[in-house]
A and B are shown apart, each in its own frame.
Chain A
Amino acid sequence: EVQLVESGGGLIQPGGSLRLSCAASGFTFSSYSMNWVRQAPGKGLEWVSYISTGSGTTIYYADSVKGRFTISRDNAKNSLYLQMNSLRAEDTAVYYCARVKAAADGTCFDYWGQGTLVTVSS
């Protein structure tokens, strides 16, 4: 059974840093591209970042987080990470890790974690 479990969320002051983790199981983690998607309270989905399979040589970021957030993966630990620096109030959201569906022509997400809440407030 595919499982994605996020952790690392919490309350952080503006300007602070936080590192989110996503533990993957039930599939060959290194063979799948992964993403972070966030959802502010009461708002819609916002894609955050993408990392490709294997060593993750291809990475994309949303303009809203570019230069502040860094996505990475450790295939030996079956884990995905999001290092978040210079946090702002508008980064407050539930952060989901999501797997890119294989054997699809388009980019879509077939498995999602349960999410971890990040609250940026003084």
Chain B
Amino acid sequence: QSVLTQPPSVSAAPGQKVTVSCSGSSSNIGNNYVSWYQQLPGTAPKLLIYDNNKRPSGIPDRFSGSKSGTSATLGITGLQTGDEADYYCGTWDGSLSAVVFGGGTKLTVL
């Protein structure tokens, strides 16, 4: 059981938009910055979004992040088949003194 809650799967057609939610509490998302990771099959995770809504160099602006209260959202527009991957949210949890991740969301581009 993950500390952060994500939907197990989402899907959308190529070219469309999809959002992935990440729900937590005041000890984690509510008082800390959220990051998002993309994990393509058989590869290591890759940082997509950090500090709630910032993109590292090289990440296209099709990827966006937002946070409100104890929830965060990853948005992906202009879906491509290459976006099919598992997506994870993560943040610091002050009560646990630990980094916590969501359980992951599998994106299928139909």
Residues in chain A within 8 A of chain B (CB atoms): 35, 37, 44-47, 50, 60, 62-63, 96, 98, 101, 104-110, 112-115
Contact = CB atoms under 8 A, between A and B. Distances in A.
B104 interface: yes
Interface residues of B, number: 30
Contact of A106 (B32, B88, B98): B32
Interface stretch (B17-25, B44-52, B74-82): B44-52
B99 A47 contact: yes
Contacts of A35: 99
Contacts of A114: 44
Contact of B101 (A47, A50, A60): A47
Contact of A104 (B33, B86, B101): B33
27 contacts: A37-B99, A44-B2, A44-B88, A44-B102, A45-B39, A45-B45, A46-B101, A47-B100, A47-B101, A60-B98, A63-B96, A63-B98, A104-B54, A105-B51, A106-B34, A106-B52, A106-B91, A106-B92, A107-B33, A107-B35, A107-B91, A107-B99, A108-B47, A109-B35, A109-B45, A110-B56, A113-B44
